[in-house]
A and B are shown apart, each in its own frame.
Chain A
Amino acid sequence: MSDEPNPTNQPNPPPTLTQTLLTSLSTIVGPLPIPTISHSLLHDPTSHTSISTHLRLPSSGSGSDDLCRWLYDAFQSADPHLRLLVLRSLPVLSAVYLSRTAASNAGFEAVLLAIYAHEAESRAGQPETVSVPDINHSSLYHETRPGPNKNNNNMSTELNRAVVSPALDPCGTVRATRRARIVGVALELYYSRISSMPVFSKIEFCESCAVWPAHWELLQPTLWILAHCLFGPAADSDGLRAAAGRAVERLYERASHEVNPQAMLATRSLLRLVELGDGVAPPPPQVFT
């Protein structure tokens, strides 16, 4: 189908960028459900499977890969639903990308760099930090407010500032030593949109993440995502919890082999929570008939 406007017979308005992109997606991965609307496509497993299959082809990921080019354009478009659609495929894309050491990954890298640049811009390059509160200092949730003798007002919480995600320097290319960080930042964005992600994308993540390089830069967002799959509000759906549990087990085993105390503490606490059956959502409401 041609995108060119037809001069003789033009009752329809010219297609929007989103429509054009959706049309071009169907020429790359095959037919899409009709009507094709970006926000309904997000939860459509068939289109997801076609994209995943395409990404797993040995020929995928090169600079001339149409699908990578499409993912890049879709992420750069202003349509938030298209962005989510790109992020939906991030688990497969990252897994295929990280499993390949050979070159010809320019297509994958272009997508990852676009996501990284978007994050770097929206955070203005600044690190993400949290202040770990001092429990002796009064807080919003303290049940007893401090009395008039509160001389602890100046107590500094600065000392307990933790960097959750370090500063983001601009990256024009993927250098090997920054690879884990770039993929990690993309996963941080995936996590920040995870409540909109369909379950099948999360399951795909759980099934592929355990074999990735053990950089903390990758492991940290991975653990946030897995913890969400285990204990997030939608955790009881369609085997998601089980898939996440298996991934955490493998990560714990690897952390023990490497004797990486930080990863051991984090993964062990998740396994213990699974064992305790904690955070399990109550059974769905019973319907009386």
Chain B
Amino acid sequence: MATGEHLSSSGGFESSAFGAEDGGMEVLANGLGVNTSEVEARVDDGNIQEAESSLRGGLSLNDEEARALLGRLEYQKGNVEAALRVFDGIDLQAAIHRLQPSLSEKPPSRRSRSRNESPHSIPQHAASLVLEAIYLKSLSLQKLGKLNEAARECKSVLDAVEKIFHNGIPDVLVDNKLQETVSKAVELLPELWKQTGCYQEALVAYRRSLLSQWNLDNDCCVRIQKRFAVFLLYSGVESSPHSLAAQIDGAFVPKNNLEEAILLLMILLRKFFLGKTEWDPAVMEHFTFAMSLCGKTSVLARHLEEVLPGIYHRCDRWNSLALCYSCAGQNEVALNLLRKSLNEHEKPDDFVALLLAAKICSEDCLLASEGAGYARRVIANAKEKDEHLKGAGLRFLGICLQKLAKAASSDHQRTLLLSDALKSLHEAINFESHNPDLIFELGLQYAEYRNTDVALRYAQQFIDVTGGSILKGWKLLALVLSAQRRYPEAEVAIESALDETAKWEKGPLLRIKAKLKEARSLSTEAVETYRSLYGLVHAQRKSFGSFRSNSQIENDKVNEFEVWHGLASLYSNLSRWKDAEICLEKAKALMPHSADTLHVEGVMLEARGQLDQALAAYKNGLSMDSKHIPCKVSLGSLLWRTGSMSLPAARSFLSDALSLEPTNRMAWYYQGMVHRDEDRMVDAADCFQAACMLEESDPIESFSSIT
């Protein structure tokens, strides 16, 4: 029988295996010793009383202590049931009663404790023995699967400790063994409640272990804090709020599970950062999970930045930070971090970094060329088990090339880039045939390419795969139909979209609807639609609190200015100058320096023959926004009208406009007029042809307004 092993693993008790022939061992207590084999023989015979009295006689112990020792022996040998029989005879309440006064009356001084024979060490030792026995009883019950009883016994250890030490366990005055028993019981109790499925009790036990004065050592406290945080995060058991007593001196008191878990994880991370305890990677992962689900990745980023060097590879840290910042809307910071980690001397082939960098760049014309580079690296490296990522690489390549095409310096280059972009997107669809993002992108590109039949197919497919749940799909469908001059069908699409959207999302759809009515010369209905849009905008402003945020609504919110501006241009097209002016004033009051209002003003002035003022309005518009295309086109046309002296200036405004928006039909038309007047008939014919082709595919609102 390997009794020696049992003993050494029990820890902390003054028992030792002598390796005697009879396999017995010696128990030391109060400076006296007894050979255990005699006692054991009696227990084996089922004669506990006799065994106990033999122990008591040999060691001058009382009943409880003798039983405690005896039970421990049985426990250490693995005789759990025998141990329980012995432990059952311990009267804990009586023991507490006996131990209470002697310990709480007058705590012994540091000096007196240095001598073993101090008068207080004996009650402490006795307390230690009895409490340990109850702790072992709880463990025995746990081993026998009697979890509820185990938890109750374990709890009684803690209750007893609290009764004996009214003011918490003193820092240095306590016997090591007692402290060890207390710490173990504190740690065990919540785990027992968890195993029994009594989650509320587990929660109370966790809080008790962290908030009462148990004098736990740092590692034990860290273990409990972590387990509690994990329990709070994942148990799905909502806790009762902390009592008022806990709310002291303005300290932060968590209101719910998630807050409590986050607080504990932050405290653990702080301990790691200060080097107070050993790094545990799981804590950072639990924290990452919690913070990303709350959408507070900027806070996560701050904690990642504090992690001591040497724990994460620097590239991994940069990449994680980039994910955090990108999620928090700080793409520029994210991209700078990714550039570092994708440097050829670091980890240039990391897929997560490459894809995120490609995505960020694909959203910005000025970064599209860099983004295409990242996307090509994804495509080149996506092999074998990573081949599925090729589709994502191709998708971002397509989007980047399309952005590059917009900024191309020549028609030839633009055409090449656009056809490459479409090619990439088509290749991508072989990998991700059901990816809604990809289907939408194809629809949008074909629409911009003015291949409206194909665009229509993709728009419908997008609505199918998303079940009509994404607003931009409906907008694309309506605009493509409007480009095909199928206004009534476009209106049907908008009406279905209005049915499928909640109140606050209807704004952009109503705006399109108003323009469709206008295109069909149904001006009264158009005005009516603007009126409902105005009502919506007002209701929205009134009822939106700070937390009523929903990204889909935020991105698509129609503002009051757009309503007045739309109405002003509607009235000016109808030559209802008075109404137009009123609306214009309203728009101006909301946004005094807007190129849009100045443009409508110019159109009105021009129509009423006030050409000089109109010219000034367009020029002012351009000084507000040097890339305002409608102002450039109107200025070009007005200069062309004023005669041959101004033709070169007109030409330059119009080609400017065309380089910004190659599908602007009116710009092609006036450019053709300018060429004709300057006797360049071939150029003029080309321009008119372009204008003609575009006229058949002009949407009522630019496709780029969709996203």
Where the two chains meet, the residues of A that have a C-beta atom closer than 8 Å to any C-beta of B are: 101, 127, 129-135, 137-142, 145-146, 150, 153, 157, 160-164, 166-167, 169, 171, 175-180, 191-195, 213, 215, 220, 223-224, 227-228, 230-235, 253, 256-259, 261-262, 264-266, 268-270, 272-273, 276, 278-279, 281-282, 284-288
- B residues near A268, Cβ cutoff 8 Å: 288
Which A residues touch B392, using CB under 8 A?
256-259
Contact across chains for B191 and A177 when beta carbons are under 8 A apart: no
Given contacts A132-B262, A265-B292, A272-B281, could you give 4 more A-B pairs where the C-beta distance is less than 8 Å? A161-B547, A175-B502, A262-B297, A286-B143
Q: In whole angstroms, how far apart are the Cα atoms of A264 and B359 in the complex?
A: 14
Task: Please indicate the chain B residues that have their CB under 8 angstroms from the CB of A228 in the complex.
Answer: 234-236
Query: B655: CB under 8 A from chain A?
Result: no
A149 to chain B, nearest CB (A): 13
Is there contact, CB below 8 Å, between B263 and A133?
yes
B348 to chain A, nearest CB (A): 18
Segment at the interface with A among B65-73, B253-261, B564-572: B253-261
Interface residues of B in 275-310 (CB under 8 A from A): 281-282, 285-286, 288-289, 291-297, 299-300
Asked if residues B295 and A140 are in contact (CB atoms below 8 Å), the reply is no
Chain A residues with CB below 8 A from B79, complex form:
288
- In Å, the complex CA distance between A284 and B195 comes to 8
Chain B, Cβ-Cβ closest to A139? B252
Given contacts A164-B293, A233-B235, contact A133 B252 (CB under 8 A): yes
Kindly state the separation between the CA atoms of A99 and B58 in the bound complex, as whole angstroms. 78
Pick the most buried of A138, A191, A193, A230: most chain B CB atoms within 10 A of its CB.
A138
User: B147 and A288: CB pair below 8 A?
Assistant: no
Any chain A CB within 8 A of the CB of B519? no
Residues of chain B within 8 A of A235, CB atoms compared: 234
Shortest Cβ distance from A134 into B: residue:
B252
Q: Mind listing 14 A-B residue pairs with CB under 8 Å?
A: A133-B262, A138-B249, A138-B250, A140-B211, A140-B263, A177-B500, A193-B236, A213-B469, A223-B289, A233-B197, A233-B235, A261-B323, A262-B327, A288-B143
| Interchain CB contact under 8 A, B199 and A276 | no
Q: Cβ of B687 < 8 Å from any Cβ of A?
A: no
Chain A residues contacting B437 (CB-CB under 8 Å) are: 258
Contact A160 B230 (CB under 8 A): no
Residue in B closest to A127 when the chains form the complex, CB atoms:
B547
Q: Which of A135, A140, A234, A282 has the most CB of B within 10 A?
A: A140
**A133 surroundings in chain B (CB, below 8 A):** 252, 254, 259, 262-263, 266
Q: Is the CB of A288 within 8 A of B80?
A: yes
Q: Which of B13-21, B106-114, B548-556 is found at the contact surface with chain A?
A: B548-556
Closest to A194 in B: B236
CB-CB nearest in chain A for B268: A141
Please give the distance in Å from B256's CB to the nearest CB on chain A.
7
B460 at the binding interface (Cβ < 8 Å): no
| B256-A167 in contact (CB<8A) | no
Residue B355 interfacial (CB < 8 Å): yes
Q: Inside 8 A of A177's CB, which chain B residues have their CB?
A: 468-471, 500-502, 505, 552
Contacts of A288 in B (CB 8 A): 78-81, 143-144
Encoded as 1 (CB less than 8 Å from any A CB) or 0, chain B from 536 to 560 comes to 0000000001011110100000000
Q: Is the CB of A142 within 8 A of B251?
A: yes
| Inter-subunit contact B286/A273 (CB<8 Å) | yes
Residue in B80, B288, B351, B499 whose beta carbon sits within 8 Å of that of A175 in the complex: B499
Determine if A285 and B145 form an interchain contact, defined as CB atoms under 8 angstroms apart: yes
Asked whether, in the complex, the Cβ of A153 is within 8 Å of the Cβ of B235, the reply is no
A164 pairs with B294, CB closer than 8 A: yes
Whether the Cβ atoms of B470 and A269 lie closer than 8 Å is: no
Tell yes or no: B577 within 8 A of A by CB: no
Known: A132-B294, A164-B293, A273-B282. A150 touches B250 (CB 8 A): yes
| Chain A hits for B548, CB < 8 A | 127, 166-167
For residue B225, CB closer than 8 A to chain A, the reply is yes
In contact, A285 and B323 (Cβ under 8 angstroms): no
